[in-house]
Structure 1
Amino acid sequence: MTPLPDFPPYAQAGKPLGKRWLSAGGVYLSLVAIGAVLLPEANINAGLFFAVVLIGAMAGLLCFVLRLLYYQLACHNAQTYQRHANQLIQQWWEQHRQWAALSEAVLIGAAGTTSSHWRRLLKHAHAMPTARIESAGKAIRLLRSFSLTREERECQLARTAAIQWHEQYGADPGADLLCCYWLGSEQSWISFSEQLQKLSPKIVLPGQPEKWNGVSGLNEAISRLNSAGDDAAILYAGSQSMPASASLTLPAGEAAFVWLLKKNGKVKLYRGEYHQPELKEDIATAASRAIKQARSDHIPEDCFLFSQADMTVLEKTGWPLNQYIQDGNWGYTGEIEQVIVQTLAALRCEITEQPVGWIAGDPQYPLALGIVKPYGTRK
């Protein structure tokens, strides 16, 4: 993402000090008066003396006028600089506030696979998945998946996501499919695309999709969508299964998803923000920027997240952190955790018609966060 332009303040020229110039003029007149008194005794030509006095006075006046012009020109340059800087910042915000409509969303996990499952989860009316013991540690797995290897599980999850998308929406991205972004291995992408081809032979997917890359990839997708035609669409999908390990604080988890991004849909998915502690930026600043990005005027009442390394830092955002923590529903899911909370936030937003926040890890940044808004909002 292109960072917010930072323009240093324009070096202002000092204002001409009128008293100083008047004092200099007074001193000059005093010297002229003294010279006029001493003129007869010094045997100096009076015409020459007053010519020199006049030239000196004109030179002083010219210096004052030039100094005044320099100050006015410097003020004009400062105003032009600030106006241009404000225009660039405004253009940056206009682009930064672009969004994509989440037209269709499918989420696959141990806690559910259908919209009705996720609606129960949002109401806290679902049964929490039970972690099972594997040879290397605990894991939360989709019950219908019996594969043992990670690659097989990811392929099976990808096929399940394709089937669910077809059952739920018909799996028809339309003729203007700009591109596909995939989170996961090449083999799982092949399984996903082959399953879709069986279900919907008219679908033409690329042999090599774009790589999913967290908020940076979402930014890229939103930019591409906003520069395309009204019927354009982008397919966002992925499949990830984490291997069990005794070193994990949470059971290993897995998930798959399918998004169809368009210019009209159910909710607005904004670009999102990221936190970079190495730049000494407080996380509250990033959270405020996310609110401003979504053209919102208050902190979201609901927020979906997984537990992060330092939850005390997240408390500085002021966002609600305890109502929708997803650790128990998914376990440790790796990079796909960002998509999980974004999807659940979108579903919650669709139901409540209120802005909903999300917080997650990111492949490039320690933390990412953003807001989902109802599609029917004015901006």
Structure 2
Amino acid sequence: MDDTLEDILIWQPAKSGKYTAKEGYNAIVQMQEGINAEQNLLWEGIWKNKIILPRIKFFLWRLINKGLPMAVHMHSRFPNFSPMCQRCYEDNEFDMHCLFFCENSRQVWFASTLGLKVNELPLQIGEALKQIMEVLDDYGIQLFTATVWEVWKERNKAVIEHTVFKPTEVLKRVQAITTPITMDPIQTLPVQHIDEGQEVHDIYENGWQVVMDASWDTNNRAGCAYIVYDGGLLHSVGMHSEPLNDPFMAEAKTLQESINYMVEKIGVSHITRTQFFSDCNNLVQAVNNCDIEQLPSWRARGLVNDIIKMMEDMQLTATLHYAHRDAVQQAHVLANLARRKNMQLSGQLHWQLQQEEEIRDVIDARFFQRVQQAPP
């Protein structure tokens, strides 16, 4: 044996021993040949569905292909690893038990608005998913897939961190996912880094979104409010009242406060995508065009100029969009509350608002709907 020869890497599936993208694709195709044709159809239907979030699609792909680290899968690789469900200790933890049959998971489905009868589901995960999704409309599919995803996340938290599985928390997070930010009808000003032809829902899929509005009366009292979403999920709420000279000043002040909150409290940077939405077209035009000469209020020149500089500091990742009044209605009602009742909240996290019934009902009644009916 010649000791002078160096070791080399060889890609065994390829005749040449060299890996290429084509050889990798062919290997994957060969691996998939044994998969049931119906399962392939199920996966294709999930992949092409525009309602299901991308991260949930990836999770479902792993689920269908037995790629999740459930106890029975771990046991097959590490015999000393117990195949039992670490939540109920009543059965082995395979995919259907984990997501549907375990008592904790049953509690979620019992309280869900889907009305899913867990006892009637087949034992095979692919058949179960196909049977359920075939009878659901788009919203139902979104709700169902989000629930499966959140059950899995809560299971991981319970098993890995040794916490109590909380069905109510699962339902709250599902509601947050399936209750997207109300942005229809919406018009956005042309922004150079948003690709031409990009759909509106694509714009909100990642990053931060801040919806704002102001309320002003002839006593020079103004209310300002902003609602912050993280990838379309409700994150926090800010609102306050103060004396301002005119309604345009109130709108500008609201934008300034929301930018300050995102930079100082959230900590967004020039690499974090942040979108601000206002129904004040004059303000949006002035900031986007860096033009303070045509403002409806001369008092606001200095304030708007400061806002322009703040947006520039955030570079191209921060954009300001014009939205119809319907799209900022929730922020408008909160601004009215702040003006009339002198309410002050500086970026209050959504889960801290549970006792604030007026605010809770305004932001999103569905998101904060009572889930205490779920079994403990």
Structure 2 length as normaliser, TM-score?
Answer: 0.24
**Relative contact order (alpha carbons < 8 A, sep ≥ 6): 1 or 2 greater?**
1
Structure 1 length as normaliser, TM-score?
Answer: 0.24
